[in-house]
């Protein structure tokens, strides 16, 4: 049975400014990661978090992984005081997993970090320093710059407001052909030298005050996978808070390492978009537009799932061929020496 706790959304108040002032100098940072069939980079991610200066606590919510990986995680948790391992016994979704993890933390700040993201030395301290500039803000979230393994900026780390029109423009690249249409993603825009306001940042690396996160109800658990971060950012802004993008805090995110089917992932992303539009655009005409978008949204996302599946198969074939070539060369080398 999944762990239960009644603290999320149960009257925890926003942190008074008097208490927030000066907190960042001595603030404790808790990192929360939710893992489900993550793949080979999970242990690298965990090791980087445990070694990172500025991290005081690490809570890993394990929804399910291979037995040998779970065994390794249990050993690491048993030998590390600041490592808390929570095993839910089922895939409860990313949003619910984050909420479970946040309730178990004891830090002043909570940083949500994807299980295939690597926290480089200095990033946690950078985020704490950036939080010091927001002491007068009633509620805030800071998102890190998300990069690929080669250092290039990954899509999703900084985004505009999600609307039916921005979704349509993004899915079908309408902004390339129609003046006035805006793409949802901002990663091609010039990079600032300092932290700047941003409508939406990525839940792959997002930090808040723990009390604030709990007070606003955490992530909306109606989102199983994807879109919950967009919803959270909108929730914060609607409450008079602010969302910030910190380009000086770079997080390497491998992405696509999960052993879950791309069709499963993209389908839940599509459902997330529909739930979001239904929640924030409740007017009769807006609901009609949402229903009209269901077909195009899923067509675009399922097309992406097919592409990702094909790309994965081709990469697998290339890897197997490369291994076969290395084995043949090794065999030939041994034969020449024998």
Residues 252 and 315 placed together within one structural domain of the fold: no
- Report how far residue 238's alpha carbon sits from residue 17's, in angstroms, rounded to the nearest whole number: 19
DSSP string, 121-176: TTHHHHHHHHHHTTTT-SSEEEEEEEE-TTSPBPTTSEE----HHHHHHHHTTGGG
Q: Tell me the three state secondary structure of residue 250.
A: strand
Residues 248 and 268 placed together within one structural domain of the fold: no
Residue from 124, 100, 123, 92 nearest 27 by CA: 124
Task: Flag whether 4 is in a domain.
Answer: no
- Report how far residue 293's alpha carbon sits from residue 291's, in angstroms, rounded to the nearest whole number: 5
Residue from 307, 280, 305 nearest 166 by CA: 280
Domain housing 28? 17-258
Would you state the pLDDT for residue 259?
A: 64
Number of domains in the chain: 2
Residues 141 and 233 placed together within one structural domain of the fold: yes
- Report how far residue 193's alpha carbon sits from residue 199's, in angstroms, rounded to the nearest whole number: 18
pLDDT digits (tens, 9 = 90+) for 54-70: 999 999 999 999 999 99
Q: What is the mean pLDDT of residues 186-213?
A: 97
Task: Flag whether 159 is in a domain.
Answer: yes
Residues 156 and 281 placed together within one structural domain of the fold: no
Average pLDDT, the chain: 88
Last residue of a domain, one of 190, 223, 258: 258
pLDDT higher than 50, residue 210: yes
* CB of 126 closer than 8 Å to CB of 249: yes
Residues 267 and 225 placed together within one structural domain of the fold: no
Residues 170 and 275 placed together within one structural domain of the fold: no
Last residue of a domain, one of 258, 292, 308: 258
Token pair recorded at residue 276: 């979001």
Task: Flag whether 5 is in a domain.
Answer: no
- Report how far residue 56's alpha carbon sits from residue 186's, in angstroms, rounded to the nearest whole number: 32
Measured in whole angstroms, the distance separating CA 205 from the mean position of its chain's CA atoms is: 5
Radius of gyration of the chain (CA): 21
Task: Flag whether 80 is in a domain.
Answer: yes
pLDDT higher than 50, residue 7: no
- Report how far residue 53's alpha carbon sits from residue 50's, in angstroms, rounded to the nearest whole number: 8
Reported confidence tier of residue 17, pLDDT bands at 50, 70, 90: very low
Last residue of a domain, one of 230, 258, 286: 258
pLDDT digits (tens, 9 = 90+) for 69-108: 999 999 999 999 999 999 999 999 999 999 999 999 999 9
Residues 183 and 118 placed together within one structural domain of the fold: yes
Residues 199 and 308 placed together within one structural domain of the fold: no
CATH number (domain holding residue 69): 3.90.550.10
Phi first, then psi: give them for residue 154, nearest 5 degrees. -90, 150
Distances (CA, A) of 138 to 10, 68, 125, 238, 243: 19, 44, 22, 12, 11
In sign, the C-alpha dihedral spanning 114, 115, 121, 125 is: positive
Residues 318 and 235 placed together within one structural domain of the fold: no
Residues 140 and 280 placed together within one structural domain of the fold: no
Torsion region of 11: left, alpha or beta (phi above 0 gives left; psi -120 to 50 gives alpha): left
Q: What is the C-alpha end-to-end distance of the chain, expressed in Å?
A: 59
- Would you tell me the crossing angle of helices 94-104 and 228-238 to the nearest 10 degrees? 60
Residue from 314, 152, 138, 167 nearest 226 by CA: 167
pLDDT higher than 90, residue 16: no
Residues 270 and 246 placed together within one structural domain of the fold: no
Task: Flag whether 8 is in a domain.
Answer: no
Reported confidence tier of residue 338, pLDDT bands at 50, 70, 90: low
Task: Flag whether 11 is in a domain.
Answer: no
pLDDT digits (tens, 9 = 90+) for 305-328: 676 677 767 777 887 787 778 777
């Amino acid at each position: 049975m999944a762990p239960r706790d009644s603290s999320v959304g149960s009257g925890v108040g926003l942190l008074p400014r008097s208490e927030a002032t000066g907190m960042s100098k001595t603030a404790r940072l808790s990192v929360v990661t939710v893992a489900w069939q993550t793949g080979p980079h999970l242990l690298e991610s965990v090791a980087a978090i445990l070694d990172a200066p500025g991290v005081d606590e690490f809570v890993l919510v394990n929804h399910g992984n291979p037995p040998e990986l779970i065994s390794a995680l249990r050993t690491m948790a048993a030998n590390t005081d600041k490592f808390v391992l929570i095993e839910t016994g089922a895939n409860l979704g990313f949003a619910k997993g984050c909420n479970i993890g946040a309730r178990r933390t004891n830090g002043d700040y909570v940083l949500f970090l994807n299980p295939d993201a690597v926290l480089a030395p200095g990033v946690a301290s950078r985020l704490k320093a950036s939080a010091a500039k927001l002491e007068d803000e009633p509620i805030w979230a800071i998102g890190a710059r998300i990069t690929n393994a080669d250092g290039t900026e990954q899509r999703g780390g900084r985004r505009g407001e999600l609307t039916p029109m921005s979704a349509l423009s993004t899915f079908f690249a309408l902004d390339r052909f129609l003046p006035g249409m805006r793409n949802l993603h901002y990663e091609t825009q010039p990079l600032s030298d300092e932290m700047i306001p941003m409508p939406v940042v990525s839940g792959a690396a997002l930090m808040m005050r723990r009390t604030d996160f709990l007070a606003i109800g955490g992530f909306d658990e109606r989102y199983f996978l994807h879109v919950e971060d967009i919803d959270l950012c909108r929730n914060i802004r609607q409450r008079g808070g602010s969302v910030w993008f910190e380009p000086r805090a770079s997080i390497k995110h491998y992405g696509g390492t999960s052993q879950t089917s791309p069709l499963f992932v993209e389908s839940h992303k599509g459902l997330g978009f529909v739930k979001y539009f239904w929640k924030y655009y409740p007017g009769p005409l807006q609901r009609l537009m949402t229903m009209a978008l269901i077909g195009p949204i899923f067509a675009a996302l399922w097309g992406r799932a097919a592409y990702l599946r094909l790309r994965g198969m081709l990469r697998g074939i290339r890897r197997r061929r490369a291994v076969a070539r290395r084995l043949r060369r090794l065999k030939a080398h041994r034969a020449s020496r024998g």
